[in-house]
Amino acid sequence: MPILQTLNKGRVPVHIWTGDTESQALDQLANVSQLPFIHHHVAAMPDVHAGIGATVGSVIPTKGAIIPAAVGVDIGCGMNAVRTSLKADDLPESLRQLRNGIEKAIPVGFDMHDRDPVKRSVITSLAGGLDVIVDKHPGIRKMQKQRPYHVWVRQLASLGGGNHFVEVCLDENADVWIMLHSGSRGIGNVIGRYFIDLARRDLAERLGSLPDRDLAYFTEGAKHFDDYVEAVGWAQDYAMINRREMMHLILAVMAKHLPPFSITKEAINCHHNYVAREQHFGADVFITRKGAIRAGDGELGIIPGSMGAKSYIVRGKGNADSFCSCSHGAGRRMSRSRAKKLFNQEDLVQQTAGVECRKDVGVVDEIPGAYKDIDAVMQNQTDLVDVVHTLKQVLCVKG
């Protein structure tokens, strides 16, 4: 299906892959399109919804500038998935014990491991890069309430909160998959907030001329630009390693509870909140994907639904108009506060029937009804991706 809506309220157009976009999101997209360094156009994916400053589900190409708030504070947040040799019949009738095992192995929320959870070589490599960043910006260390080293190391291989999750899924062939969603944890949040504030201070004299103060930016060659590129790159690497190491722990838990198995499909590990240098429409640009994944020609990606809906393994078509991108999920159709007012525990139980997961009021804001229809989202991006596998979760661990 082609682009469903084009917004022309700024210097460049905004191409939108849905006809159902809330007014606040449209305003945010229009604001971004007014910035002087946007290249060619802005793309909005079919799961688009309002965020902070920049819209979730947007792809923003910039020449010589980066907007830290567009990348966000969960830098490098993304997905990881592997297919196993297990079949549906290999799973026990009750998955409660398996869920308990995963929840015991993977800290959620603000929790962290009691000891260093990964190899010393991994920690040493990450520590060297972080030391360089913090030496130039000691304020990053001051923003952490606990001992910085203790926090970022012990939070490796942990889930976090919000919409982060671990799922066991079945595909159309009854093959068992493990899929997870997480990012750069507390250290990524601190780096994100620090540089967002720094961009506002650097641009203080011109902040009032911006359509939104959350669109404060660093320009290439100016003070702090290179430092932000270095810091955001480190946080993206941390997020990738966090997902990889978490997957190792989950596989170890499954090995204890299930028949012997092997990995039958290479792991897909992809960001959906990040910035990268790419070439589009004849120019070298910084591409910020805020709630979008790269979908280059032949590239595999993951598009998850909600707790009670389908998810998809997809292959990108390299659509130039989307800057080789697609949606990162179903996308919220209402805020967390509204979901808590509109739904109750009984609704959650009904909408997650057949899924071994938390069904208490603490996760009502993650109820499937708070999200867009994943089937409609997928229908709106048939020109961006092909579906390779359709997954349905049977177990979900929420942060």
Task: Indicate the helix (H) or strand (E) that contains 310.
Answer: strand 310-316
- With a cut of 70, say whether residue 1 has pLDDT above it: no
**Residue whose C-alpha is closest to residue 306's, from 329, 339, 335, 328:** 329
One-letter amino acid for residue 67 of the chain: I
Q: In what side-by-side order are the strands of the sheet with 300-303?
A: 263-271, 78-87, 175-182, 165-170, 385-398, 310-316, 300-303
Q: Would the pTM of this model clear 0.75, i.e. be above it?
A: yes
* Position 56 pLDDT exceeds 60: yes
pLDDT, tens digit (0-9, with 9 covering 90-100), for 275-311: 999 999 999 999 999 999 999 999 999 999 988 889 9
Look up residue 371 and give its DSSP letter: B
| Residue that has been written with the tokens 């068992």 in this structure | 176
User: What are the structural domains, with CATH classification, of the chain?
Assistant: 5-333+371-398 (3.90.1860.10)
CA 34 to CA 277: how far, in whole Å? 21
Question: What local confidence, expressed as pLDDT, does residue 209 receive?
Answer: 87
DSSP letter assigned to residue 356 = B
* pLDDT, tens only, 244-253: 999 999 999 9
- Cβ-based neighbour number of residue 92 at 10 Å: 10
pLDDT band at residue 399 using 50, 70 and 90 as cut-offs: confident
Q: Which residues are catalytic?
A: 328
Judge whether 236 and 274 are in contact, CB under 8 Å: yes
Backbone region of residue 331 per phi and psi (left: phi > 0; alpha: psi in -120 to 50; beta: other values): left
Q: Which of 61, 31, 25, 28 is nearest to 43 (CA)?
A: 61
Residue 325, classed as helix, strand or coil, is: strand
